[in-house]
DNA sequence: TCTGGCACTTA
DNA sequence: GTAAGTGCCAG
């Protein structure tokens, strides 16, 4: 779904893109919610990689915040369900001469299973093991307790393959992430010193559910999702529902007869308390390679609807210039990540992420490892290419939902470029679980912006797609390569990495909206 | 909890 | 008119 907002207008030429962009950013930051301002790394190598100026903005952040404040829930079904709000980001600061791969994934936010009782979410036990590293076709692999969300297909993307899905567990919390991997000719993907950064928007975290638990979320969905328009205007159903929930305190009112709007303020749920809101660590946090992180309370909702503060601080492992130090106007202060990790400061965080303190070094849990594999994309069962189960994903580093921008020492790919690239991440101590992502190698960037919308819920994203000019790109550069679709493990061998304009989704099929 | 049919909507 | 995306709700 192409984004047509003027705010996403892009410079037409790389030469003046920077200056124009900077001006534009000033106007857009508030609207979009600047979340990442990649600093220039003190590491010369990284600076050479050209990742220092990358910024990522979450589109419709205000809406996300509304949901987040209440406690975002995403419906998951067998057939798959779109996410709402949609995950839409704008990336700026890309080097016009460099090709990038944008990936998106959804990872477990913690190791807990939740329940919704007494109008609040609370931990009810340990999370169930995630699916092994395998993607599924719609309706497949969605066994007991596991459902999927079907990623939406990019507008204009001639995606003829079954929509892949990411399998998620109901009543579990997840965190979408965005990864930007540099993949140009001089530094092909999978090669040594591959630069990448990961961006996490804490406000996009959600709990997967089979039916909405919090009526406030239902109302927000109805009010904001056009497809739910039919439920707007009258809260008869709400009354009906309330009457049921309140033991006939209200009469059961037929939907067709009730037209009186019920103010949310009068909702019996309006007075709900938010557990641990006071101790919530909702600050968006940057994590930089240079050991600097920043936290901004103002970036996030005032209260944490979830029982524990595992709202991952917005952590960015980015290499930035010292003078920027990962800071943005929305991240007024920063602190050394290693010195004051959320896990160390916040007991709830610690309880939520008991094993996250060893960031970048090891998996939190075995379950986390499985989940990492889970998010690694794999081809549909019928696809001849090997699945991730064949990959030593267990050796992947433990990378919670924080973002990272770094030059990771990745081993050159022995096999096909981009194929099984997740396996190569095993050697990169800082490489997140990139497999379950939608990636997108930017075309020859005449544009320094890249916008991608991810609309989906949960599902394995088994397909690596290459969305060319007709894949939802509004004003495709004339020099774009033709669109091609790639299996995550079956990349056409005739293509070199830098020829791609691909969407590798292991988790979601983002809708690309790339302005140029 | 979860499912499938339903009414309603957008595209 | 059709296909597909919504939440509702009885079971």
pLDDT of A463: 25
CA of A16 to C1' of B1 (A): 55
Taking residues A120-125, what's their average pLDDT? 92
**H helix count then E strand count, chain A:** 9, 21
Nearest 10 degrees: Cα torsion A314, A457, A511, A36:
0
C-alpha neighbours within 13 Å on the C-beta side of residue A462: 29
| Rounded distance between C-alpha atoms, residue A157 and residue A471, angstroms | 4
**Inter-axis angle of helices A61-70 and A215-224, nearest 10:** 160
Measured from Cα to the C1' atom, the residue closest to B2 is A210
pLDDT of A109: 94
pLDDT of A184: 63
Spans of all domains in chain A = 6-87+95-147+170-211+275-430+457-470+484-507, 215-266
Which is more confident, A197 or A146? Answer: A197
pLDDT of A448: 31
| Rounded distance between C-alpha atoms, residue A353 and residue A398, angstroms | 12
| Rounded distance between C-alpha atoms, residue A506 and residue A440, angstroms | 12
Measured from Cα to the C1' atom, the residue closest to B7 is A230
**Inter-axis angle of helices A215-224 and A236-245, nearest 10:** 170
pLDDT at A88 over 50: yes
Of chain A residues 165-204, which have a beta carbon within 7 Å of strand B?
Answer: 170-171
Q: Which nucleotide is nearest to A213 (CA to C1')?
A: B1
DSSP state of A165: B
Q: Which two tokens stand for residue A129?
A: 């093991």
Measured CA to CA in angstroms, residue A219 lies from A50, A214, A287, A454 at distances of 44, 9, 35, 22
Residues 6+ apart with CB under 8 A from A470: A156, A157, A158, A476, A483
Which is more confident, A460 or A190? Answer: A190
Of chain A residues 255-294, which have a beta carbon within 7 Å of strand B?
Answer: none
What proportion of chain A, given as a percentage, has pLDDT over 70?
Answer: 26
């Amino acid at each position: 779904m192409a984004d047509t907002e003027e705010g996403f207008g892009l410079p037409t030429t790389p030469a003046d893109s920077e200056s124009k962009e900077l001006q534009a950013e000033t106007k857009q930051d508030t609207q979009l919610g600047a979340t990442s301002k990649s600093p220039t790394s003190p590491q010369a190598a990284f600076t050479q990689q050209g990742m220092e100026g990358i910024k990522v903005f979450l589109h419709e952040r205000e809406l996300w915040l509304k949901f987040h404040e209440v406690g975002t829930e995403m419906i998951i079904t067998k057939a798959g369900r779109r996410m709402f709000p949609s995950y839409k980001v704008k990336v700026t600061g890309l080097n016009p001469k460099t090709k990038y791969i944008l990936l998106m994934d959804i990872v477990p936010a913690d190791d807990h299973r939740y329940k919704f009782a007494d109008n609040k979410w609370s931990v009810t036990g340990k999370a169930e093991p995630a699916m092994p590293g395998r993607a599924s076709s719609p309706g497949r692999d969605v066994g007991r307790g596991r459902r999927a969300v079907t990623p939406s297909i990019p507008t204009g993307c001639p995606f003829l393959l079954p929509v892949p899905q990411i399998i998620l567990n109901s009543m579990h919390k997840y965190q979408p992430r965005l990864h930007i991997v540099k993949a140009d000719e001089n530094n092909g993907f999978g090669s040594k010193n591959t630069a990448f950064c990961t961006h996490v928007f804490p406000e996009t975290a959600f709990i997967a559910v089979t039916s909405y638990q919090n009526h406030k979320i239902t109302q927000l969905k109805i009010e904001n999702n056009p497809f739910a328009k039919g439920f707007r205007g009258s809260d008869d159903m709400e009354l009906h529902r309330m009457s049921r929930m309140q033991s006939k305190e209200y009469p059961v009112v037929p939907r067709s007869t009730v037209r009186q709007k019920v103010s949310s303020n009068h909702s019996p749920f309006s007075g709900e308390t938010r557990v641990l809101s006071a101790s919530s660590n909702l600050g968006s946090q940057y994590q930089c390679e240079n050991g600097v992180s920043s936290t901004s309370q103002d970036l996030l909702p005032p209260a944490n609807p979830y029982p524990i503060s595992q709202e991952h601080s917005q952590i960015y492992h980015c290499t930035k210039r010292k003078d920027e130090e990962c800071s943005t106007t929305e991240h007024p202060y920063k602190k050394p990540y290693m010195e004051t990790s959320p896990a160390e400061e916040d007991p709830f965080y610690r309880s939520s992420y008991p094993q996250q303190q060893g960031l970048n070094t090891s998996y939190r849990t075995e379950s986390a490892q499985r989940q990492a594999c889970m998010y690694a994309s794999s081809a549909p069962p019928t696809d001849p290419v090997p699945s991730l189960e064949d990959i030593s994903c267990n050796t992947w580093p433990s990378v919670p939902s924080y973002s990272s921008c770094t030059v990771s020492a990745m081993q050159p790919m022995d096999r096909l470029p981009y194929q099984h690239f997740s396996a190569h991440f095993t050697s990169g101590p800082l490489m997140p679980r990139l497999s379950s992502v939608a990636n997108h190698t930017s075309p020859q960037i005449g544009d320094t912006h890249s916008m991608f919308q991810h609309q989906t819920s949960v599902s394995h994203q088994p397909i690596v797609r290459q969305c060319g000019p007709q894949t939802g790109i509004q004003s495709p550069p004339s020099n774009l390569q033709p669109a091609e679709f790639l299996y995550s493990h079956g990349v056409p061998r005739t293509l070199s990495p830098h020829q791609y304009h691909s969407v590798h989704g292991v988790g979601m099929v983002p809708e690309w909206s790339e302005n140029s």
